[in-house]
Amino acid sequence: MKKLVKDLELWEVDFLVAKAEGLEVITYGINPVMVQYKKPGITGWEEYSPTTNPSQAWPIIERELISVIYIDYYTKWMAESEKCSGFGETSLEAAMRCYIASKFGDEVDMDNLINK
């Protein structure tokens, strides 16, 4: 099923950010999204929610040079870079929607991405 990035639920945004980052996702369709992490001698699973967790979102925002500003007349926050733009209720949500659009376009095929 194809969905516009602006219409994605937050768990879908988190899921797609994880996919774009090349992380192995073990849960989808529910919140929280769980991803595999690998550290020296340790493999485990952790919650992945860059739409609400600044420590997961800010490295992406800085690396991708995404600017975030508060705008009161739309959905509160807007994020943009040379490659994308996105809106959201929070700065992190707007930035992650922008990031997804830069990687997958303004419309994503959720079924195709879930099955990869």
Mean pLDDT of 45-61: 94
If one counts the domains in the chain, the total is 1
pLDDT at position 107, please?
Answer: 95
In 3D, which of 6, 21, 109 has the Cα closest to residue 57?
Answer: 21
Higher pLDDT, 75 or 99: 99
pLDDT at position 28, please?
Answer: 58
What pLDDT, in 10s, does the model give residues 2-40?
A: 999 999 999 999 999 999 998 888 765 666 787 877 767
pLDDT at position 74, please?
Answer: 64
CB distance 51 to 10 below 8 Å? yes
Domain holding 104: CATH number?
Answer: 3.30.2120.10
> If you write DSSP's letter for every residue of 47-89 in order, what string do you get?
EE-TTT-HHHHHHHHHHTT-EEEEETTTTEEEEE-SS-EEEES
pLDDT at position 112, please?
Answer: 75
Biggest CA-to-CA distance, the chain: 50
Higher pLDDT, 45 or 13: 13
Strand 76-80 with 33-39, pairing: unpaired
Instruction: Provide the residue range defining the domain that includes 6.
Output: 2-114
pTM of the predicted model as reported, rounded to 2 decimal places: 0.88
